[in-house]
Amino acid sequence: MPQDNVQIENSIRKRFHKSLFGRFARALNQYELLRENDRVAVCISGGKDSMLMAKLFQELKRHDKFPFELVFLVMDPGYSPANRAALEENAALMNIPLTVFSSDIFNAVYEIDKSPCYLCARMRRGHLYSQAKKLGCNKIALGHHYDDVIETILMGMLYGGQVQTMMPKLHSTNFPGMELIRPMYLIREEDIRRWRDYNDLHFLQCACRFTEQHTFCKSDGSSDSKRMEIKALIARLKETNPFVEGNIFKSVENVNLSTVIAYKENGVRHHFLEHYEE
């Protein structure tokens, strides 16, 4: 049986404090994700990552280090009644006060054959920004974790032919004054699973109606088949190099522009030949 909210919160404060709350707080500090008087829309999809993120923000609020406000924002893009009920029941169990709004995104992308997950993710983010701004928020928080980051790096290289990463924070280009933050940036997925299983919690996997016709989709719009290939590749590499995950992460912190053939900065492409003779 699932634990009650007191036990769930105690597990974050004690058993999983270092692996979850400690890394959450470190990401906030290291990447300057939260400032005094911010009003953050904590975006909840109903999965393990976003539900844990909500609890970590509540724990941070309990510490009362500086004033900030939270809105636990849920967009219902067309969930089935069972999935909507499961999300709301978990939120009630975990004492997360939801602010829910509806959209018709699932209907809008249902007939799209090419990259429906990518389009869905883009539309979801736009709706979240818009609703968060209406609620007086200046930031939205998404639940991407460390494993999402390193998988995105490899997916960009192997399938996109580019070196890029999932940034810990971004200014919105379409909603001036709004910012996206990823406070779970340093948290390992296996630790999220351990917390979930320790508390016997059962979250939504993928509530998308495409699951019967398409591959499972991630919140960043990527196909699960590709992501699972990358997960398997990392697992194989880790068998001979236990530091491979950390090295992938560090690779985008230690880019040496004098040793790359070309790069883009603010949309402008630069080539090493431009300054080769200088």
Residue type, 218: K
Nearest to 37 by CA among 149, 171, 164, 139: 139
Place of tokens 């953050």: 40
Q: Domain map of the chain by residue range?
A: 5-222
Q: How many CB atoms lie within 10 A of CB 12?
A: 20
Question: What pLDDT does 227 receive?
Answer: 86
Question: What pLDDT does 25 receive?
Answer: 98
Question: What pLDDT does 117 receive?
Answer: 59
Question: What pLDDT does 5 receive?
Answer: 94
Measure CA 88 to chain center.
20
Outline where DSSP puts E strands in 105-230: 139-141, 169-171, 179-181
Q: Which distant-in-sequence residues (6+ apart) come within 8 Å of 218 by Cβ?
A: 117, 121, 148, 224, 227
Q: Considering the domain 5-222 in this protein, what is its CATH number?
A: 3.40.50.620
Question: What pLDDT does 206 receive?
Answer: 61
Cα–Cα separations (whole angstroms), residue 172 to 44, 162, 180, 201: 19, 22, 7, 33
CA dihedral (177, 149, 190, 193) positive or negative: positive
Question: What pLDDT does 208 receive?
Answer: 54
Q: Which distant-in-sequence residues (6+ apart) come within 8 Å of 140 by Cβ?
A: 40, 41, 43, 73, 125, 128, 129, 132, 178, 179, 180, 181
Q: Using CA atoms, how far apart are residues 150 and 134, in angstroms rounded to an integer?
A: 33
Residue type, 239: E
DSSP string, 220-235: TS-BHHHHHHHHHHHH
Mean pLDDT, consecutive 10-residue stretches, the chain (278 aa), reads 86 98 98 98 96 98 94 89 92 97 62 56 81 97 97 94 95 95 98 97 71 40 72 96 97 94 94 92
